[in-house]
């Protein structure tokens, strides 16, 4: 982790897209490195300390999944994937391979920055041992396993807490259905998506003001769930 200015490595073959990404990140006090192909990007990532990777799915030389796999072999650096809307399955595959989040082209910079900050925070949280996660009125204390909404303690069953815990550990970033099923129910239940929908409902009932219009525990249709991030 570098000191004050986080370093973002942008890997995208479109010069125009790299240009606005650079401007957007620099306006937010981040430094930007660029690569227009996967080989150069991976080389840069091995030679320089970087805090975040933003990877386009449609690179000409290497499949996006290969980049995620190769980087994950030696690094936990957060990776955000830029994808087009047609590739839902591909998105889920990349997230399950270890990418931290995705944004769908065309996207607004605010959205990418929110995902990026969330991924950076998770990285720093694990480094600093920070155990409080806040999502709007919800506070999860990962150390004492206590959950409160607007200061009032909420009683959760062990499975409900486990579900919330996994989401809180990735607060602000999407967590796929598969990932949640594996973490909460174990590898033998990764196909039992029905459980997950039911438990998400129960959880929403306990933490959301309006469970059918959630503000804290958000759905990414076809992909997974995302805990809102920040106050």
Exactly one of 16, 29, 144, 152 binds another protein (CB under 8 A); that residue is: 16
Closest CA to 82 of 98, 69, 94: 94
Interaction residues for another protein, span 168-227 (CB under 8 A)? 177, 185, 189, 192-198, 200-201, 205, 211-214, 219, 221-222
Q: Which is nearer to another protein, 14 or 36 (CB)?
A: 14
Q: Check: CB of residue 94 under 8 Å from CB of residue 67.
A: no
Cα-to-chain-centroid distance, residue 116: 8
155 binds another protein, rule: CB under 8 A: no
CB of 216 to another protein, least distance (A): 13
Q: Count residues near another protein (CB under 8 A).
A: 45
Residues 6+ apart with CB under 8 A from 4: none
Q: Which is nearer to another protein, 63 or 69 (CB)?
A: 63
Q: Check: CB of residue 77 under 8 Å from CB of residue 45.
A: yes
CB of 125 to another protein, least distance (A): 25
CB of 95 to another protein, least distance (A): 15
Q: Which is nearer to another protein, 150 or 201 (CB)?
A: 201
28 binds another protein, rule: CB under 8 A: yes
Q: How distant, in Å, are the alpha carbons of 75, 79, 92 from that of 70? A: 9, 12, 17
For 67, other C-beta atoms within 10 Å of its C-beta total 27
Q: Which is nearer to another protein, 65 or 75 (CB)?
A: 65
- Asked if the bond preceding 21 is cis, omega within 30° of 0, the reply is no
Exactly one of 23, 46, 130, 150 binds another protein (CB under 8 A); that residue is: 23
152-153, strands of its sheet edge to edge: 132-135, 138-141, 146-149, 152-153
Q: Check: CB of residue 112 under 8 Å from CB of residue 106.
A: no
Exactly one of 47, 86, 143, 187 binds another protein (CB under 8 A); that residue is: 86
Binding site for another protein (CB under 8 A): 14, 16-17, 19-21, 23-24, 27-28, 58, 84-86, 88-89, 105-110, 157-159, 177, 185, 189, 192-198, 200-201, 205, 211-214, 219, 221-222
């Amino acid at each position: 982790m570098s000191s004050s200015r986080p370093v973002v490595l942008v890997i995208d073959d479109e010069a125009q897209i790299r240009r606005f990404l650079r401007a957007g990140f620099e306006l937010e006090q981040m430094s930007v490195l660029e690569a227009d192909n996967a080989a150069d990007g991976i080389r840069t990532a091995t030679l320089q300390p970087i805090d975040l990777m933003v990877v386009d799915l449609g690179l000409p030389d290497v499949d996006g999944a290969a980049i995620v796999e190769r980087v994950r072999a030696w690094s936990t650096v957060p990776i955000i994937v830029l994808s087009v809307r047609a590739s839902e399955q591909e998105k889920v595959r990349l997230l399950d391979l270890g990418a931290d989040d995705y944004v769908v082209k065309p996207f607004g910079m605010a959205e990418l920055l929110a995902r990026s900050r969330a991924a950076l925070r998770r990285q720093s949280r694990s480094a600093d041992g920070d155990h409080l996660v806040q999502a709007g009125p919800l506070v999860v204390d990962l150390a004492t396993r206590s959950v409160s909404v607007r200061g009032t303690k909420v009683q959760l069953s062990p499975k409900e807490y486990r579900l919330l815990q996994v989401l809180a550990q990735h607060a602000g970033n999407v967590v796929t259905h598969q990932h949640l099923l594996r973490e909460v129910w174990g590898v033998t239940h990764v196909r039992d998506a029905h459980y997950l929908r039911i438990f998400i409902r129960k959880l929403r009932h306990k933490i959301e003001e309006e469970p059918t219009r959630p503000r804290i525990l958000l759905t990414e249709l076809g992909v997974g769930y995302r805990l809102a991030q920040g106050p």
